[in-house]
Amino acid sequence: MDENVIKVENLVKYFDGRCVLDGINLNVPRGCIYGLLGRNGSGKTTIIRILLGLEPPTRGQTFLLDTASTELSPKLHGRIGYVAEGHNLIQNYRVGRLIKLCKDLSLQWNDEFFDHLIETFRLPTDRRVKELSIGMRAQLNLALAMAIDPELLILDDPTLGLDTVARRRFLELAIELIQQQGRTILFCSHILGDVERIADKIGILAAGKLVVDCPLEELKERVKKLRIIFPESAPANLHLTEIINQQIQGREMVITVANWNKQKQTVLDTFKPSSCTEIPMSLEDIFIECTKPNPEYIES
Amino acid sequence: MFALIKREIQDHIAYFIGAAVFSVVFIIISFSLISRYDHRKPPVFSIGFGVPAATIVIFGICAMGATQMYLDRTRKISALLSTLAVSRNQILLAKIITGILAILILFVPLTIAAGILLRLFTPPVPMFTGMVLEISVVVFLMAFACYCIGLQTGWNSSPVTPSLGALFLTCILIPLILIKGFGVHIAVILVLFIVASLIRTWHTFMKTSL
């Protein structure tokens, strides 16, 4: 059995002649929490929809739990929990009816855990789904996805519409779920603080390409932002590879470099800078740098 | 599968009630017309009653198929269901079974009533039993063909192709029924149309983005 629960091989997707995904390769090992990041329209939801077999790819292949996405059986679907962006629920159903339908169509249903979630979220089962607030719909969708004790949980911007308390509660639940061995989570979000809190591995999509694919800690180690002061005006070109971003202002140069190492330090030293200080970067800073035009790849 | 069929029936319960009510009304009117039937007068009222009734049935059945698919598409019901332990094949099959059930609710009582009427008002000739069966099969197939057209119309954003298909079928069937009556040849054409239509619906439903 493959150790990768999610496999994406050379995935290409065009929408009306526009390339949304351009040769994506991605692996998510068992037990990993993978945070997939990207700006609006970068193709995160498209990858997830292709993975779940809801959307056909233009080229390439995707696999979930060792099976091609186009051939996922109901049995395999029963092992995957999914929270869709915008909380794709049947709007005119009463909450109770939707719960019963999902329960009837599931292979396994953890009543105890589900009831606990419904109680925690204080979801009214007698109201129609369309009468719920966005936050309540998000909670309902999450509870439905969690109730099946999924082996793989795919969350497409699950905290969208949740208030701070509900978001924190959701993250705690996600962590609780992860602690049960062997669970894998693919997690898309615009709230980078959430991703930073729970993700083991990060992927960043920009311009249809996966420009970052490595563990979070490694990413923070490898991407460096440096403020360099030169005795005279800063050189236009440092002859360094993998420069993600570069700004020059008189004697000062601020660069963001991927895969910083001793060789790059030596190259920099040949320019005899007066000082070189590292600017600490959060995941949000790295994300902003990486999603600027023409970033280079940071893959593990 | 049973949960899917149950969901379809609950969502389209109006069609089931409509079919049952129509069936009862049709039987009552038929009994009253036949009991007062005078073979010296032309059956103007019967024709005047039969044509609108057939039109309502055709449009009603077609509308059911179209509603099932249209609501599914716009409310993204299949998109949710197919992320549960259900395949697209099962979702479509549940819809079709529900459609067949609605058609049966409409026609089974009518067929039984027709059998009783023939026994009451015609001499006991075995020919009539076969005739009722043949007409019932053809009428059921016609209704199912209408339902298939509805399924296609509801899923496509452009209903031109299914409408052309319906028009083509009508152009072939009406002259055939008028010339040769209800029989195996009509049933064969209908079965072919239904198979082609279902394959097309299945193909579209399986390949499309949900």
How many domains in chain A?
2
Domain endpoint, select from A215, A248, A265: A215
Average pLDDT of the residues in A282-297:
73
Average pLDDT of the residues in A95-121:
88
ipTM of the complex as predicted: 0.78
Query: Is A193 in the same domain as A118?
Result: yes
CATH number at residue A229: 3.30.70
Residue B120: strand, helix, or coil: helix
Query: Is A25 in the same domain as A163?
Result: yes
Chain-chain contact of B210 with A105 (C-beta, under 8 angstroms): no
Residue A183's nearest CA partner among A139, A135, A145, A138 is: A145
Lowest mean pLDDT among A177-181, A235-239, B20-24: A177-181
Among A285-289, B53-57, B131-135, B139-143, the range with the most confident prediction by mean pLDDT is: B139-143
Please enumerate in sequence order all residues whose Cβ is within 8 A of that of A170, keeping only pairs 6 or more positions apart, or say none.
A139, A142, A158, A159, A162
- Interface with chain A: mutation pick from B9, B84, B206, highest number of A CBs within 10 Å: B84
CA gap B144, B198 in Å, rounded: 10
How many domains in chain B?
1
Domain endpoint, select from A155, A183, A215: A215
Query: Is A126 in the same domain as A54?
Result: yes
Query: Is A186 in the same domain as A40?
Result: yes
- How confident is the model at residue B45, as a pLDDT? 60
Lowest mean pLDDT among A158-162, A205-209, A223-227: A158-162
- How confident is the model at residue B139, as a pLDDT? 86
A54 vs B contacts (CB less than 8 Å): 79, 82-83, 209-210
Q: Give residue B103's domain range.
A: 2-207
A140 vs B contacts (CB less than 8 Å): none
A105 vs B contacts (CB less than 8 Å): 3-4, 81, 84-86
A52 vs B contacts (CB less than 8 Å): 82-83
Which strands form A184-188's sheet, in the order they lie side by side? A80-83, A152-156, A184-188, A33-38, A201-206, A209-215, A298-299
In chain B, DSSP finds a helix count (H) and a strand count (E) of 8, 0
- How confident is the model at residue B41, as a pLDDT? 61
Residue A157 to residues A7, A52, A242, B7, B187, Cα–Cα distance (Å): 20, 16, 30, 29, 53
Q: Binning pLDDT at 50, 70 and 90, where does residue B33 land?
A: confident
CB-nearest partner of B79 from A54, A73, A92: A54
Residue A298 has pLDDT above 60, yes or no: no
Among A31-40, A210-219, B92-101, the range with the most confident prediction by mean pLDDT is: B92-101
CA gap A243, B137 in Å, rounded: 75
Q: Give residue A73's domain range.
A: 4-215
Put simply, whether A90 touches B (Cβ < 8 Å) is yes
Query: Is A229 in the same domain as A102?
Result: no
- Better pLDDT: A299 or A157: A157
- How confident is the model at residue B146, as a pLDDT? 87
Q: Binning pLDDT at 50, 70 and 90, where does residue A48 land?
A: very high
Put simply, whether A229 touches B (Cβ < 8 Å) is no
- How confident is the model at residue A283, as a pLDDT? 82
Average pLDDT of the residues in B71-92:
88
Predicted TM-score (pTM) of this structure: 0.80
Chain B: give the shortest CA distance to residue A89, in Å.
Answer: 7
- How confident is the model at residue A50, as a pLDDT? 92
Chain-chain contact of A55 with B4 (C-beta, under 8 angstroms): no
Average pLDDT of the residues in B4-29:
91
CATH number at residue A139: 3.40.50.300
Query: Is A22 in the same domain as A162?
Result: yes
A49 vs B contacts (CB less than 8 Å): 209
Residue A1 has pLDDT above 60, yes or no: no
Residues A182-218: tens digit of each pLDDT? 688 898 887 787 788 788 888 888 888 888 888 888 8
Chain-chain contact of B3 with A52 (C-beta, under 8 angstroms): no
Q: Binning pLDDT at 50, 70 and 90, where does residue A8 land?
A: very high
Chain A: give the shortest CA distance to residue B107, in Å.
Answer: 30
